[in-house]
Structures are given as structure tokens and as C-alpha cells.
Amino acid sequence: MAKNLIIVESPAKSKTIKKFLGSNYMVVASNGHVRDLPKSQMGVDFENDFEPKYITIRGKGELLASLRKEVKKADRVYLATDPDREGEAISWHLCHALKLDPKKTRRITFNEITKNAVRQAIKESREIDMDLVDAQQARRVLDRMVGYSISPLLWQKVKRGLSAGRVQSVALRIIADREAEIDAFIPSEYWSLEASFAVKGSKKPLIAKYYGNPKKQENISKQEMDDIVHALEGAVYEVSDIKKGERTKKPPLPFTTSTLQQECSKNLNFATQKTMRVAQQLYEGVAVKGKGTIGLITYLRTDSTRISDEADSECRAFIRENYGEENIGSVNKPIKEDKKIQDAHEAIRPTYVELTPAMVKDSLSRDQFRLYQIIWKRFVASRMKGARYETTSVKIDAGEYRFTSSGSKIVFPGFLAVYQNDEDKADNNAVLHKVSEGTVFRDAVLEPEQHFTQPPAHYTEASLVKALEELGIGRPSTYAPTITTLIARRYVAKEQKNLYLSELGDIVNQIMTSAFSSIVDVNFTATMELLLDGVAEGTVEWKNIIRNFYPDLEKAVSHAEQALEKIEIEDEVTDTICENCGRNMVIKYGPHGKFLACPGFPDCRNTKPYFEKIGVTCNKCGGEIVIKKTQKGRRYYGCENYPECDVMMWQRPSDQSCPKCGNFLLEKGNKLVCADASCGFKKEKEAVSEEEKK
């Protein structure tokens, strides 16, 4: 009989840990939280100093009964939930739900699920850290107070099903403020000028950009550009200066939660929620051929770039063996972390650096492999030397008018041998090496080009995460659920990575900023996060935060109930006619998304599926191509006239047809590819301007 019981959060984690321990250990899973505040009420006892009213989560009774049986058999119970505040709180709730004896209950944490880490954690077992538990309780109670106080007001004044949140509402305001900037932006015209010079011995011309006369000239108007081009007619151009230099690009830091989400959004097209879901799988453990079930990465919720001495030395040994001594970076100096950083965890890294992505590829799903590969490469690169570039800059003068050209080439790749982004690539303008000072060009092809200043870019999930982190809003565990909620509530629409404020989101934001200005104030929310950090550090009493916060919230809600007028949001009318009563049907929202409904309800209860048109005509029957979903929720593109027309595609079709065979051209990355694979036609996709996107 097992004398020791270890309780973890997930079955996958328990399976990984079991293999490291002997028969004296039994490992079971709680399947996440077992107690929480009730959904049907606020769940906070205002008469008893804001004491939370926890209840057993519905459906957990049978699981808790089986856990109690295992507890009775064990001499000692180890609580091994995740190593963060939420994990600490889950362990505390397990103590209460299972009525664990404090004398035989210990808390263990590990940043990576490896044999050494798990066994060391058992040796260093401790009591539950109530400061961390209280920090999580404070966050939970604050969020509940905001949500359950303001959401009913939104239901009353706008429509049912809306919600407000302490962090969610601030994120919505950040997006709304950016939309306002974009709407208010007035573009201005400016011109640039490029000159092409034929270089002896080179098939490619030397391209130089107009610099100035003689100082740098910016925001050149159309008239100024015409004057410059006119003045350069018949001019003689001479290379007046060539400078060679060297620059070094430092290796990247290993991933934090925020930087991982940003990189995966940019390079893998992962939503933040998907990044965290797949990373959780890699952390808890996957079955690897020849290794069994093992955890492949360290804990995924962290805002520290620190690496343990052991992992650092193992990585440097790996680099020495596989890339050579000359590629090992210098010992990293401790980084002066921002005061907001919680340094309890390391950065995100592979648990076994010797397990290269190629070695585990066959054992992972496509998404797991791509995520593991980017984490592994980034970590190894962080321990390597910086890349060195040789730079060349050339000045070409035509009287007082100056043009410049520059290029670079990699002379020592360093970390680029492992990890490289588009911005790391050299701009190798080889033709620069074929010119020397005094070289004269008598002919130049001048190409003036018109430009317009651009408004700030719409937020993407990646750039919003970066903004939230920089402003101190939320913490690593909150970024993904915050963005997911905004999209799920339809406050924000996501199109081609960009986040757009919806009409509903605009109305909710206006209510929040007018009636609850402090709650959606960025500085207030960032200060609240620092106070919660103070609770975790033991310097702030958690109920003091609640005592100070609630009276102002209560007053604001009471005032808003009196001051705010009811807002009617009109349903979007379509050109689809209800065949029962002849009215134009409207778009409604249900649990599974949009559907068409007759506005004559309850007299007419007619409903239909709603399929969003994409502006592409079916080349088989002339109907509209619409977005559909399979029973499992996978999106595809099909003809509105199904089943009479069976046209169906997984990739989004373009509004252009294949010039070779007339079939659809499908959008694949930055290319358009013929839907008929045997045709083989493909071409670059034309860039879409911001105006066209709108």
C-alpha cells in the first residue's frame, strides 16, 4: 500500500510524475479547482468583514469522495498543484474540502516536471504559503465584486449576457482608446526618392535613397520633390564617402509568458489562449518515444527571464558539443528586474535541452512541435554569443543633393545559427562592394514615390499583451483569459489578427468610463496589481484592499443605476425575407454564435442558420461563398446553395479566379494558389491597404 499520496491538478501531470516515484507513492488528480465562490450569488459576506463563501464546485462530489478514501490510506499527503498563487489556493481549498490533517500534509512545488525536480521538491516540502493564498483570494473577491456589481447594471441598461471585469474592462478601454486615435487620425502626404545607378561588373543596380540638401530632409511635399527631380536633370553623381563598420546583435532573452504569446502570435499565428493550452500540455507531459511520458518545458506562467545555474551549465555544455566553444556566450549578468516582476519561477525553457525538436517531432502534434521548437531554439540562442555584422554605408553626392545607401552582411552568426527572425537577416547589398570613393555615375534612374502617414496600428492579441504587461495590468495567468473574454462577449471582433472595437464594446466602454472611471483607469488598476503583489509578499493585509475598495464601488454602482439611461441596441437587419410572414430577418446571437430570427417574435418564431458572406461568387452555380462550420466547429468555406451545389474549401477563396483554369484561387499565407492542385498556378498576394480592409 502506498504510504504517500501526491495530489496534482491534472491527470496528464499525475501520469508524468508517477514514473519518477516508487511504489510508496500514489499520484492522483483533483482536476483543477474543487471549491469556488457560488455562481448564483456574490459569495462575499459583507456583514462578516468580506469573508468569502466557498462551496464545493458542482460535479466534484464524487471526485472528492474518492480522494478522501485515498487520503485515509496515506501516512502523508503532498499537495503538488501548480507553482503559482492560483495553485497555492487550490492546495488550500483541497485542505478544507478533504479535511486534511495539517500534521501529515505538506506542500511541494516544482518549476519543471523532472525526476530530480520532483524528488527535490519532496525533500524541501513546506507548509501552505497563506500569503500567496490570500493574494489569490483578494484577486478573486475583487473580480467577483466588480463583475457581480456592474454586470447586472449592464444587463439592465443595455442587454442581458453582458459582463464587466476588473482587468477585462481596462483592456477594453485600451482597445477603445486606440480606435479613437485611429478614427481621429488625418493622414498627410509626403514623398521619397530613390536613384538607381548602373555599376560596372554588376547585373544589379545600386539603389540609393535621397537624403537631403545637404542636411537630412523629411516630409518632402510634392512641389519640393518636383523641384529636386528638376534640379537633378543631367546631374553627375559621385561617391563621396564609404564607411565600413561592425555592429553586434545581442542574443534574445529566454521566453516569459508575455514574450512567448507575442512570438507565437507573430510567427505561428497562435491565439494567446491556444499558446497557453499547448504550452500546458508540454509542461504537464507528453508521451515521447523511448522516454515515456515526460514534461518537455518548465512552468509556463512567469514574468522572469532568470535561468537556474544547473540549466544554464547544461545548455552551455550542449552548445559546446554541438556548435563549438566559440559560440558559447559570456555568463549573463543578473538583469535588474522591474519592480512588477515576480521572480518565483524561471523563464520558460525546455526541461531537457538535449531533447532537440527533431528528436521529439514524431511524438508531438503539429502545434506541440512548433511551440516546443520555438521555446527550445530561443533558450539555446539565449546562451550563445551575439551575431556580428559588417556594415557598409555609401554617400553619393550630386552637387548639394545627397543620396545614401547601406547594407550589411553576417560575419559571425552566433545565436543566429539557432534562432532567427526576419529582422535578424542581413541586408546584403553586394553591389556596394563594387564601388569606391570617387566613383562617378553620369546616369541615374530617379523614382519619386508618394506616401501618406499611417495611423497607429490596430491592436493584435500580441501587441495588446505587450501593452498590458508594460502598463502593469494583469499578470501572466490573466492575459489569455482576458482577451478570450473580450472576443467571446463580442466587445471586440478579431479579423486577420487585428482587434476591432464592436458597437457593443463601444457602448460598454462608454458606460464604464463615465460611471466607473476609477475601475477602468490604467494607473488605478496597475496600483491594485502592486497591492496584490504586496499581499503575496506578506507586506499588505488582503482584506484592507477590499475594505478600501468596496465602499467606492458601491457608491458608483448606486449612482449609475440612477444616472444611466437605458440603451437600445438595434438588431442588424438582413435582406433575407422570412417565408412565414414576409419580414426582413435580423441577426441574433445565441450560445453557438449568430443566427437569423424573425423580428415578429413571439408571433413568428421562424429562425435560420446565419452564414457570413465573404464577397466571393461560386464559380459553379453563381451563388455566394459563405463561412460555415463543421459539427466539431472547424471553419470552412462553401456555397450558400448546398446541397444543390457541393463546392467546399478549407482555405479562404480569393475574389480572383485562376487565369489558367478558371478555378478558385485560395489564400495560403502571402500567396494565392489554385484550388486545383494539378493546375499548379500560384502568385504573390497583393498587399491590402488599411482603407481596403475597412
Which listed residue (211, 299, 389, 610) is catalytic? 299
Where are any strands of DSSP class E within 578-634?
Answer: 584-590, 593-597, 607-609, 612-617, 624-629
Residue 113: its H or E element: none
**Angle at CA 392, nearest 5°, toward 419 and 231?**
125
Of the CA atoms within 13 Å of residue 259, those in its CB half-sphere come to: 16
Residue 488: CB atoms within 10 Å: 11
Cα–Cα separations (whole angstroms), residue 354 to 150, 316, 594? 52, 11, 48
644 close to 621: Cβ distance less than 8 angstroms: yes
619 close to 591: Cβ distance less than 8 angstroms: no
Interatomic CA distance for residues 132 and 109, integer angstroms: 13
The residue among 188, 191, 197, 190 whose CA lies nearest residue 229 is 191
Cα–Cα separations (whole angstroms), residue 628 to 73, 196, 596, 606, 647? 53, 50, 14, 20, 12
Query: For cell 499565428, what's the residue?
Result: 269
Q: Which three cell numbers stand for residue 602?
A: 413571439
Query: For cell 530561443, what's the residue?
Result: 378
319 close to 327: Cβ distance less than 8 angstroms: yes
Whether residue 214 is preceded by a cis peptide bond, meaning omega within 30 degrees of 0, is yes
Q: Which three cell numbers stand for residue 598?
A: 424573425
Give phi and psi for 600, each to the nearest 5. -85, 5
Catalytic annotation present for 636: no
Interatomic CA distance for residues 624 and 617, integer angstroms: 5
* 3-state secondary structure labels for all residues of 341-366: CCCCCCCECECCCCCCHHHHHHHCCH
Q: Which three cell numbers stand for residue 590?
A: 445565441
Residue 599: its H or E element: none
Cα–Cα separations (whole angstroms), residue 112 to 116, 253, 254, 301, 322? 9, 19, 15, 12, 24
645 close to 623: Cβ distance less than 8 angstroms: yes
AA identity, residue 11: P
The residue among 185, 171, 163 whose CA lies nearest residue 463 is 171
44 close to 141: Cβ distance less than 8 angstroms: yes
Q: Which three cell numbers stand for residue 527?
A: 496600483
The residue among 545, 558, 506, 571 whose CA lies nearest residue 152 is 558
DSSP state of 677: T
Q: Which three cell numbers stand for residue 427?
A: 541586408
For the annotated catalytic residues, the residue numbers are: 299
